[in-house]
Structures are given as structure tokens and as C-alpha cells.
Amino acid sequence: MLLIAGLGNPGPEYEVTRHNIGFMLIDRLCAAYDIECTSDGLSSLWGSGSIAGEEVLLLKPQTYMNRSGDAVRWAASELSLEPVSVVVAYDDSDLAIGRLKLRPGGGSGGHKGVESIISCLGSSDFKRLRLGIGRPENSTEGLSGYVLTPFTEVECAAVDELLTRAVDSIELLIREGIGPAMNRFNPVS
């Protein structure tokens, strides 16, 4: 079994913001694989099903971004999963809009949700799917304000294509492993 957690913030005011691209990916996975992510428990909305023949639990933590680790830890514990059986999808402002990058583990890169998961799992050995949201240009709100803004109409097409590729990357990760998925989907430079 694989636990796939998409990070975001609960509530309609955050639904379409950049910080919620992890939730958007979970919604896209649900649609692609006919999984309902409506069960409430483990401090999350979740649903279980199958992707590429592998049983998965899709998770949208409802603990707010900075406490995502609580929900991921509870779900992993409930399923008796080690961190290597966890994939976390989240927004990354260091990647341009439309880019994605898979990693087998590592540090948080300053992302508070990932820091929370590392702390709560006691390990950084979980897979990451970083989804590019870009950085603000000439913004007065700074990065913390920027991540809470919706994508512009122009950006939405790139985000839609990004989410399609992210779904494909998850399927390849499940079918062939993190190495082949990184080789196919990670940017060259």
C-alpha cells in the first residue's frame, strides 16, 4: 500500500490558491482512478482505491499546511506504513509554474508542511512530488501572501497540464519506481 498525501489548507477561501496545488492533485487522481476522497477521519479527507494495480490511500490533511505532519503520521501509523511508502505532493515556489520534480527524500527546502511531516514521521525518507507555482514578480505581499493567491487565468492552462503530468508521474512511480519516474519527468536543468 502507498499513502499519497497532497498538501494544502482546508476551507473554501483557500480552495483555488497556489498553496493548495497538492489538494488539486489529489482531486485529479481521484477523478482519474475513480476514487472518492470524502471520508473524514485521521484529521483528513481521504479515499482508498487502486492505481496501476497498487492499493493507495489518497489524503488531504485538514490540519492546515504547517501541521500536515500530524495527519500524515496518523494515517501512516493507522496503515502501519514506513516513510518510504509515503508520497507527498506540494507547492514549490522554486520551480516555475508548470514544472514538477520528483525526489526520493531529502530536506524540506524551507516548506513548512514538509518540515512538519519530517518532524512527525521522524524521517525524511518519504518521496516528494514538488509542483511548481513560481515566484511573485514585483509583489508587495511577499512569498507568504503569494502562495495564498489563486492562479491567474493565463497560468491555469499550465497548471492543468502540470496536474495531468503529475498524475502520469504518480502512475509511473507506482509501476516502475522513483528512478524511472524521475528520469522521465524531472527537468533536465
Q: Which residues are catalytic?
A: 19
Q: Is 62 within 8 Å of 44 (Cβ atoms)?
A: yes
Strand partners, 10: none
- Can you tell me the distance from the alpha carbon of 75 to that of 80, in angstroms, rounded to the nearest whole number? 8
Exposure of 113 by Cβ count < 10 A (0-12 exposed, 13-18 middle, 19+ buried)? buried
Return the closest-CA partner of residue 185 out of 84, 98, 102. 102
Give the strands of the sheet with 39-41, arranged side by side.
Answer: 39-41, 44-51, 54-61, 2-6, 86-92, 127-132, 100-103
- Can you tell me the distance from the alpha carbon of 14 to that of 149, in angstroms, rounded to the nearest whole number? 8
